[in-house]
Amino acid sequence: MSLWTASEIAAATSGTASTGFEVSGVTFDSREVGPGDLFLALKGETTDGHRYLDQAFAQGAAGAVVSADTPHPHVRVADTMTALEDLGRASRARMAGKVIGVTGSVGKTGTKEALFAALDRPVPGQAHRSVKSYNNHTGVPLSLARMPRETRYGVFEMGMNHAGELAALTRIVRPHVAIVTTIAPAHTEFFRDESAIADAKGEIFEGLEPGGTAIIPFDSPHRDRLIAAAKPHAEKIVTFGLGEGADVRAIETMRTRTGGTFVTARLGARELSFTLSQPGDHWVANGMAILAAVDAVGSDLELAGLALAEMGGLAGRGARFLAKVDGGEALVIDESYNANPASMRATLAVLAQEPATAGRIAVLGEMRELGPESAAYHAGLADPIRAAGVSRAILVGEGMGALAKALEGQVDFVHVPDAATAREQLEAVLAPGDAVLVKGSNAVGLASVVTSLAGRG
């Protein structure tokens, strides 16, 4: 079945179709256009998608949404950004299944991907989720517009860096279940304190459908604040975590030989044992949120457990591989996509558990958008680095200056200006048996370090 017909697009966007056509995909990035896609010609501050219409159709686009004349098959609208939002709303309106929204300062993308795997397992091909980190004012409606009409479960990540943004997104998504993974310092230059971050994340509950479920981190110091935010909108509130009293709780954990965790979870009077392929206590907590959501939408918990056991690491968010070095191999943990103080601590704790036969190396990029407390947040990583038994730290970016000062005389480190220099420093010391963690804010560019290691022949 087609994803959209020209007449459906026109009806959803109050536009006018130039001719009949059908599309099987949707994108607003001309570089991603493939055969059968709908290309939305969005206008931005620095570019205009209408300039790329010829390119899009040369790559196989079946139709376009435009606000200017074009000879290509199209739907003409007054504003293409508004049309994208309208198409997302129309997709949500025609979907008869269950929708889950995920937000949080840390772990929302990994939780979204794991939840998708858990829901897709019993009904292959009938679950849908937002790809990559498409979680903002353009990514969320795009992800909705891409959702097939017969979808049984939709999982959508929602992000924000200002108050009010989640409120707008959640009213488009209209989730039956809303998850907050955790609250931690992130985008703090835009918020007065963590309580304000919690309030902004709590906006996700405002879009809950009648009878909806709010899933809240029990171990968070902001638990009660989130519960208060959920109460006016949720019929049911479920807490998850590791602490006594959580509604969905990990009551027993054991690290496996492959680096994952064997977990026994309690959901009310029920117990479920499964293996979680991802390492670290933060993933155990995420796993409890996933089980709570699977249970809330009535899907299969046992099959969800199997899916969590088989899930691989995500590029930039925990993927692992062995890099060839002279005389052997080194383990690389790729956490290069993003970083804030909480996720830095969590992944350093994971590094501490790795049975490195040589050394533990941490390539750490500066954390962005932390506001006036940035220096203190960076310096605060000194204790986790020492606790992880890091033998050498490569600190990348100007913001790492405070951490460099805190580590003087305690840990072997080098402070470098950019990712290219970090790569040179790492390659000079990398040895067989090393375990290497690569983590930093995406803008630092540490993905290039990972790519270089992955390409070692």
Same domain, 284 and 383: no
Mean pLDDT of the chain: 93
Looking at the domain assignment, is residue 368 inside a domain?
Answer: yes
Q: What is the C-alpha to C-alpha distance for residues 400 and 379, in angstroms, rounded to an integer? A: 8
Contact 94, 149 (CB under 8 A): yes
327 plus 299 within the same structural domain? no
My answer on whether 176 and 72 are in the same domain is no
Reported as a single tens digit per residue, the pLDDT across 163-202 is 899 999 999 999 999 999 999 766 556 677 889 999 999 9
CATH number at residue 209: 3.40.1190.10
State both tokens at 366.
């500066």
Give whole-number Cα distances, 145 to 40, 85, 366, in Å.
Answer: 11, 8, 35
Boundary-marking domain end, from 286, 310, 334: 310
Q: What pLDDT does 313 receive? A: 74
In a domain, residue 89? The reply is no
Q: What is the pLDDT of residues 331-363, one digit of tens each?
A: 999 999 888 898 899 899 989 988 778 899 999
Of 288, 286, 293, residue with least CA distance to 236: 293
Cα separation, 378 vs 368, in Å, equals 10
Same domain, 32 and 174: no
Q: Are 57 and 21 spatial neighbours (Cβ–Cβ below 8 Å)?
A: no
Total number of domains constituting the chain: 3
What is the structure's pLDDT at 280? Answer: 85
> CA dihedral defined by 336, 443, 282, 123, rounded to 10 degrees?
-80
Q: Tokens for 350?
A: 């994971």
Tell me: pLDDT of 407 over 80: yes
Residue 279 counted as domain residue: yes
In a domain, 88, yes or no: no
216 and 131 co-located in one domain: yes
Segment 256-283 mean pLDDT: 90
Identify whether residues 278 and 229 lie together within a single domain.
yes
* DSSP 8-state secondary structure symbol assigned to residue 259: S
Q: Which residues contact 10 (CB under 8 A, 6 or more apart)?
A: 16, 17, 75
CB-based contact 348:381 (threshold 8 Å): yes
* Domain annotation covers residue 196: yes
Q: Both 161 and 198 in a single domain?
A: yes
Residue with tokens 């795009």: 142
277-293 pLDDT per residue, tens? 888 888 999 999 999 99
| CA nearest neighbour of 388 among 428, 328, 425, 437 | 437
Q: Count of CB atoms within 10 A of residue 70's CB?
A: 16
Q: What is the pLDDT of residue 185?
A: 65
137: Cα within 13 Å, side-chain hemisphere: 11
CATH number of the domain that 66 lies in?
A: 3.40.1390.10
Q: Could you tell me if residue 86 is inside a domain?
A: no
Question: Tokens 């794991």, residue?
Answer: 114
Rounded Cα distance, 154 and 10, in Å: 24
In this structure, the answer to whether residues 275 and 355 fall within a common structural domain is no
Q: Check residues 134 and 419 and name the one with the higher pLDDT.
A: 419
Q: Are 65 and 40 in contact (CB under 8 A)?
A: yes
Q: Are residues 323 and 247 in the same domain?
A: no
Phi–psi pair at 103, nearest 5 degrees: -140, 180
- In this structure, the number of other CB atoms found within 10 A of the CB of residue 68 comes to 12
CA 341, CA 244: separation in Å to the nearest integer?
25
pLDDT tens for 107-158 read: 888 999 999 999 999 999 999 999 877 888 999 999 999 999 999 999 999 9
Same domain, 273 and 346: no
447 and 334 both lie in a single domain: yes
CATH number at residue 444: 3.90.190.20
In a domain, 84, yes or no: no
β-bridge pairing 319-325 and 63-66: unpaired
Residues 46-76: tens digit of each pLDDT: 889 999 999 999 999 999 999 999 999 999 9
Task: Say if residues 128 and 151 touch (Cβ distance below 8 Å).
Answer: yes
Looking at the structure, tell me whether residues 59 and 103 fall in a common domain. Answer: no
Last residue of a domain, one of 78, 113, 130: 78
The domain boundary residue, chosen from 269, 291, 310: 310
Residue 101 has pLDDT above 90, yes or no: yes
Digit-coded pLDDT (tens) for 196-238: 999 999 999 999 999 999 999 999 999 999 999 999 999 999 9
Q: In which domain, by residue range, is 54 found? A: 4-78
Confidence of residue 1 (pLDDT cuts 50, 70, 90): low
- Whether 38 is covered by a domain: the verdict is yes
Give me the mean pLDDT over the 363-380 stretch.
92
Token pair 């990029």: residue: 365
108/130 Cα distance (integer angstroms)? 11
Residue with tokens 């026109």: 10
